Structure 1
Amino acid sequence: MPATLREVRIAEAVRDLVHRTADFDPLELLHDLTEHTTALLPVAGAGVTVLDDLGQVEYATASDERCRQLEDDQIELGEGPCLDATRDGTAVPTAVLTGPAALRWPRFARRAQRAGITVVAALPLRTPALTAGALNLMSDQDAETLPDGFDLRIAQALADAAASCFGHRHDLHDQAVLIEQLTTALDSRLVIEQAKGVLSERLRISLDDAFHRLRAHARARRRKLTDLATDVAHGTVPDELSHS
């Protein structure tokens, strides 16, 4: 049976998420997860929420600013698919926000619809030790192009591949190692948000464009995204970023 192009890309995405160096950047891994998800599935955006060292759900990263804002909204409102998937450790299947989901998450559903999002789903980000967070999927398309059961299985496989890197070269049952890596991701998120703001203001570009420039520059020079973002946040902006 010949493989399709999509099947090859799925296999390559899993390989990319699993094969990381020992000193990998946890936040960059999570963003790669959202990037692969949006490239392979019929969704408009994807985001990741994780548990902090106090067991609270926190936004980690997202494929774009709209998705990032809706992740923050869920945490602010205390309701939404990513919170349910993180807290329960189970998948939240595809839910149309004008249907029963509007009763399940009424305030979040209203905000999502105002942002143009009509459908959501969430998959747990899990290790053998515990559920570390959730991968949130968002769609702005009609019912005929919504993620189906097979799409959600692909998304769960991608989330599992990413989660397998946490505790790299350690026992995956070591909860302390996992929490330390998630804390690193959350700390990195703050400096990357600062760097996006600096670039956005200086170059008069959108926050999404600012992040894409940071990512492209870091990859081209094989630098950790967090290290580059730290320099930019402190005012050291490479000249190349102005001409990307």
Structure 2
Amino acid sequence: MSAVPRDVLVAQAVFDLAARPDGFDVLELMHDLTTHTVRLVGVRSAGVTILDHDGRVDYLTASDEDCRRLEEDQVELDEGPCVDSTRNGSLLSPVNLHRAGLGSQRWPRFTPRALAAGYSSVASVPLRVSESAVGAVNLLHAGPRRLTGVDLQLVQVLADTAGTRLHQRRTLIARNDVIAQLETALSSRIVIEQAKGILASRLGTDVQDAFVRLRAHARSRQQNLTDLARMVVRGQIPADLDRTH
């Protein structure tokens, strides 16, 4: 049986998530997970939320700024599909936010914000490490096509691949150690967001484009993304990232 192009893309995505060198950037792994999810499943946005040692939900990364804002809203409101899925550690089947007010009944404050941002349905799969859920991969969909069970199975495979790589980082580690790594990645997220803002202001572009430039620069030089972001925040912007030079 010959492989079809999508099969090849799926295989490439799984390999990309699994084949990380020791010392890889956890936040970059999670962002790549959202990027592959959007490309392969056809959702508009994807994000990752985690549960810290104190049982609090926080967002870790998002595929785009609209998704990031909605994840922040849910954390602030303590309401929404990302919050529910992260706490429950279980699959959230697609919920149509328009249908008979279902979304409004479950998430009365989140749903109007999601609809205003152009999203029509939501779903989540657990982010698992050694069979234990440590967070959730959240799907925000727009458009007429419905998310299917096969779509969710594919996202679960991607999430499990990333979770396995976290578990195997350098050596097999305990679940609490993985959560500690993810909490460290939260600090990296803050630095990267600061760097995105600085670059966007300096280059006269939006923050999404600034992030694309930042990440491309890091990858082309095999540099840790968080380390590059710290340089930018300190004002040490590489010349080829800075149009003013």
Please state which band the TM-score falls in when normalised by the shorter chain. over 0.9
Which residue matches 2:35?
35
Is the 1:18–1:161 contact (alpha carbons within 8 Å) kept by the matching residues of 2?
A: yes
Which residue matches 2:60?
60
Which residue matches 2:97?
97
Q: Any gaps of 5 or more consecutive residues in structure 2?
A: none
Which residue matches 1:206?
206
CA distance in 2, matches of 1:6, 1:156: 17
CA distance in 1, matches of 2:188, 2:170: 21
The one-character-per-residue Cα deviations of 1:50-102 (angstroms, maximum 9, x if unpaired) are 12232211111111100000111111111111111111111111111112222
CA distance in 2, matches of 1:236, 1:146: 46
Which residue matches 2:178?
178
Which residue matches 1:193?
193
Q: Any gaps of 5 or more consecutive residues in structure 1?
A: none
Task: Give how far 1:139 is off.
Answer: 1.2
CA distance in 2, matches of 1:19, 1:67: 27
Which residue matches 1:4?
4
Which residue matches 2:108?
106
CA distance in 1, matches of 2:239, 2:194: 18
Give, as a single letter, the amino acid of the residue that structure 2 aligns with 1:128.
Answer: S
Which residue matches 1:229?
229
Is the 1:198–1:232 contact (alpha carbons within 8 Å) kept by the matching residues of 2?
A: yes
Which residue matches 1:155?
155
Which residue matches 2:164?
164
CA distance in 2, matches of 1:187, 1:51: 15
Percent identity (aligned):
50
Is the 1:80–1:105 contact (alpha carbons within 8 Å) kept by the matching residues of 2?
A: yes
CA distance in 1, matches of 2:51, 2:186: 9
Which residue matches 1:75?
75
Task: Give how far 1:162 is off.
Answer: 0.6
CA distance in 1, matches of 2:30, 2:209: 19
Task: Report SS of the residue matched to 2:124.
Answer: strand
Give, as a single letter, the amino acid of the residue that structure 1 aligns with 2:111.
Answer: A
Provide TM-score, normalisation by structure 1.
0.95
Task: Give how far 1:171 is off.
Answer: 2.7
Give, as a single letter, the amino acid of the residue that structure 2 aligns with 1:121.
Answer: A
Which residue matches 1:133?
135
CA distance in 2, matches of 1:6, 1:163: 22
Task: Give how far 1:234 is off.
Answer: 1.1
Is the 1:93–1:121 contact (alpha carbons within 8 Å) kept by the matching residues of 2?
A: yes
Is the 2:130–2:175 contact (alpha carbons within 8 Å) kept by the matching residues of 1?
A: no
Is the 2:129–2:175 contact (alpha carbons within 8 Å) kept by the matching residues of 1?
A: no
Is the 2:127–2:137 contact (alpha carbons within 8 Å) kept by the matching residues of 1?
A: yes
CA distance in 2, matches of 1:64, 1:43: 12
User: RMSD value over aligned CA atoms?
Assistant: 1.2
Paired positions, count: 240
Is the 1:94–1:119 contact (alpha carbons within 8 Å) kept by the matching residues of 2?
A: yes
Is the 2:51–2:87 contact (alpha carbons within 8 Å) kept by the matching residues of 1?
A: no
Is the 1:46–1:63 contact (alpha carbons within 8 Å) kept by the matching residues of 2?
A: yes
Which residue matches 1:239?
239
Is the 1:195–1:230 contact (alpha carbons within 8 Å) kept by the matching residues of 2?
A: yes
